Amino acid sequence: VLQTIAGFDRIGEENAFAVLARAGALAAGGMDVINLGIGQPDFPTPPNIVEAAIKALRDGHHGYTPATGLPALREAVAADLDRRLGAQVDPDRVLVVPGGKVTMFAAILMFGEPGAEILYPDPGFPIYRSMIEFTGATPVPVPIREENGFAVSAEETLSLITSRTRLLILNSPANPCGGVTPRGEIETLVAGLAEHPHVAVMSDEIYDQLLYDGEEHVSLLTFPEIRDRLILLNGWSKTYAMTGWRLGYSVWPDGLYDKARKLAVNAWSCVNAPAQYAAIEALTGPQDAVAAMVAEFDARRRLVVEGLNALPGVTCATPKGAFYAFPNIRETGWKAKPLASELLEKAGVATIGGPDFGILGEGYIRLSYANSRENISRALDRMEEFLAG
């Protein structure tokens, strides 16, 4: 048996992909499966973006680009951050990467090693913990509590920082809970971080445009006092319905950018060229498709929350961002993972058990409402029938 490094005995997974595969297998076997499992928009990528990629191919953009990304794309990212968030970013600190996930991979790899502690949200995106464990660092969960509106508590987060803390991972709007951390909490956190200059921050803002009820996105980029240690994670997957294009970007501070660039040269050389041209069009072209998608997500959000709250034993807080509902299912008498599994196998509704997002996920399941209103209604009917039986 070949001996690999210990990290591969610890590396985890994203169970949403296993559920996607199982749902596909059940569907192939003839079952009518409604997929509320995987977190990806059900909309096609807007046609102007698709056309830009086709044009790039026709125009002969078939070779390597700079490892950091096309200059025009990095400039478009900086202009977009300025326009939307009022954040001033040097295009030479923008790195175009093959998917939002790659930024967390790079950032955690940069700070994780045995003895280091890395703070991450729980419940949260499962890859944070998986990657932390891969590096041998100690994962320190930052509780994301329903009673706190699924927002980050600055006070609790700061209380978990020690001299060994190397990296703090933040995510708002959040997966899987749909929480949005309010400005006041972020301000308190940033102020408190002044006392911990040894802690880098990775802010995962991939859902920054998927907000409802007039919520504002407060980007960590707009706090100059932490810019020298802030890594921003963002991308096109969710906002522009481009999950399969594998495209994202990060903003790195001066001291880290060149390290990230070298990692890019070693690992992926550059992001595929036509996708980068498509990304320029996404940022500089008309934005009405984004507004239309957000409006539709909003309607589905209301539908799913209302439907879930009508189910026996289920209560669902209203998510403020992203496209997930995270209902509390404790009173149904079910544990979360068996419930998610049975809902798929018996009722043909794919969801994800809360424990797949962390220790505090027990008692919850995650439903992605990136599916049609018709399918959401059918799924709710099936869940009602299942829970009644």
Which of 172, 181, 243, 332 lies at the binding interface for ligand PLP (CB under 6 A)? 243
User: Smallest gap, in angstroms, from Cβ of residue 115 to ligand PLP?
Assistant: 26
User: Smallest gap, in angstroms, from Cβ of residue 361 to ligand PLP?
Assistant: 14
Pairing status of strand 248-251 against strand 230-235: antiparallel
Q: Which of the residues 70 through 129 are near ligand PLP (CB under 6 A)? A: 99-101, 125
Q: Please tell me the chain's helix, strand, coil percentages from 3-state DSSP, rounded to the nearest 5.
A: 50, 15, 40
User: Smallest gap, in angstroms, from Cβ of residue 20 to ligand PLP?
Assistant: 12
* Adjacent-strand bridge partners of 211: 321
The verdict on 39 binding ligand PLP (CB under 6 A) reads yes
In eight-state DSSP terms, residue 270 is: S
Biggest alpha carbon–alpha carbon distance for the chain: 59
User: Smallest gap, in angstroms, from Cβ of residue 61 to ligand PLP?
Assistant: 21
Q: 271 exposed, middle or buried (CB, 10 Å; 0-12, 13-18, 19+)?
A: buried
> Among candidates 272, 279, 251, which has minimal Cα distance to 106?
251
Q: 83 exposed, middle or buried (CB, 10 Å; 0-12, 13-18, 19+)?
A: exposed
Residue with smaller CB distance to ligand PLP, 240 or 386: 240
Which of 117, 122, 204, 208 lies at the binding interface for ligand PLP (CB under 6 A)? 204
The verdict on 237 binding ligand PLP (CB under 6 A) reads yes
Residues near 137 by Cβ (< 8 Å), separated by ≥ 6? 108, 111, 112, 113, 114, 115, 116, 117, 118, 166
The verdict on 69 binding ligand PLP (CB under 6 A) reads no
Q: Which of the residues 263 through 322 are near ligand PLP (CB under 6 A)? A: none
Give the number of residues in contact with ligand PLP, rule: CB under 6 A.
13
User: Smallest gap, in angstroms, from Cβ of residue 102 to ligand PLP?
Assistant: 7
Which of 152, 206, 270, 271 lies at the binding interface for ligand PLP (CB under 6 A)? 206
A 10 A CB-CB count for 17 gives 11
Q: What is the dihedral of CA 70, 75, 77, 80, to 10 degrees?
A: -150
User: Smallest gap, in angstroms, from Cβ of residue 331 to ligand PLP?
Assistant: 27
Which of 248, 307, 354, 361 lies at the binding interface for ligand PLP (CB under 6 A)? 248
Q: What is the dihedral of CA 168, 169, 173, 174, to 10 degrees?
A: -120
User: Smallest gap, in angstroms, from Cβ of residue 340 to ligand PLP?
Assistant: 17
Q: Which of the residues 141 through 200 are near ligand PLP (CB under 6 A)? A: 171, 175
Which residues here bind ligand PLP, judged by CB under 6 A? 39, 99-101, 125, 171, 175, 204, 206, 235, 237, 243, 248
